[in-house]
Amino acid sequence: MSTDLMARLGHVRERVGRAADAAGRPAASVRLMLAVKRQPEALVREAVLAGATLLGDNTVQELVAHAPGIADLGPELHLIGHLQSNKVNAALRWATCVQTVDSVALADRLARRCVTLGRDLDVMIQVNVSGEPAKHGVAPECAGALAEHVAGLDRLRLTGFMTVGALSDEDAVVRAGFRRLREVRDEVAGSGVPGTAHATELSMGMSGDLESAVAEGATIVRVGSAVFGDRPARPAR
């Protein structure tokens, strides 16, 4: 087993623990997800053997490539990248949660497919808190309505909200976005609308901004480069 990987995983766990401590939160209230995009299968398996229990894949293609090699170890596998409607069937084969529901159409399609398969699926609503046009997700002011729609669908279990933080060097800007996601979560989970009471997860924070996310209430931080080092380049097309 690579001692590098173990050391970096330990270091990131320490960062998360310190951030939780600083926020007056129990360390166990924040789960560490490994964002495994573009990592080779062998390294992903190594990370799971080293104790990672929660993994996030950005594309269905990568999910399908990574999942069979680690399924025996039983990690939770979340989809954390945009899901195209023609990939729903493949995603459902392996994903235990789709964090990136951002439209009624996608939610309806997932629900219909789950009804057909007779299975349940955890989902989160992806919110674009920064308004950056390159980012997926619903606008914060539309998130509540989408969440309530999803909460009413058969076979989907709304577990919370996900965002990718603002691309900014200013901590105050990044934090304000994370705070906005928390406000959306508090509003929905406290709405009393059937199916929303379990929507408590806040998936936010990455290698560069996990401290700010934990300070604002993150329950899942998604970390890639701080554990794996620089990502391999995208394959040439």
Kindly tell me which of 117 and 167 has the beta carbon lying closer to ligand PLP: 167
Single out the residue of 32, 80, 184, 188 in contact with ligand PLP (rule: CB under 6 A): 80
Least distance in angstroms from the C-beta of 98 to ligand PLP: 12
* 34 contacts ligand PLP (rule: CB under 6 A): no
Whether residue 161 contacts residue 202, with contact meaning beta carbons closer than 8 Å, is answered with yes
List CB contacts of 20: < 8 A, sequence separation 6 or more.
Answer: 26, 27, 29, 30, 214
Least distance in angstroms from the C-beta of 58 to ligand PLP: 5
Touching ligand PLP, residues 186-225 (CB under 6 A): 206-208, 222-225
Q: Of all residues in this chain, which one has the CB nearest to ligand PLP in the complex?
A: 224
Single out the residue of 35, 83, 147, 218 in contact with ligand PLP (rule: CB under 6 A): 35
Single out the residue of 58, 103, 128, 159 in contact with ligand PLP (rule: CB under 6 A): 58
Single out the residue of 98, 110, 127, 164 in contact with ligand PLP (rule: CB under 6 A): 164
Least distance in angstroms from the C-beta of 193 to ligand PLP: 27
* 64 contacts ligand PLP (rule: CB under 6 A): no
| Identity of the residue numbered 43 | L
Kindly tell me which of 17 and 208 has the beta carbon lying closer to ligand PLP: 208
Single out the residue of 37, 45, 66, 185 in contact with ligand PLP (rule: CB under 6 A): 37
Tokens 């729903």 sit on residue: 88
Spatial distance between the Cα atoms of 227 and 9, rounded to a whole number of angstroms: 5
* 180 contacts ligand PLP (rule: CB under 6 A): no
Least distance in angstroms from the C-beta of 100 to ligand PLP: 8
- Determine the size of the site formed for ligand PLP (CB under 6 A): 13
* 127 contacts ligand PLP (rule: CB under 6 A): no
CA distances from 156 to 54, 88, 123, 134, 236 (A): 20, 14, 7, 27, 37
Kindly tell me which of 188 and 223 has the beta carbon lying closer to ligand PLP: 223
Calculate the dihedral angle through the C-alpha atoms of 121, 219, 129, 104, rounding to the nearest 10 degrees: 10
* 128 contacts ligand PLP (rule: CB under 6 A): no
Binding residues for ligand PLP, per CB under 6 A?
Answer: 35, 37, 58, 80, 164, 206-208, 222-226
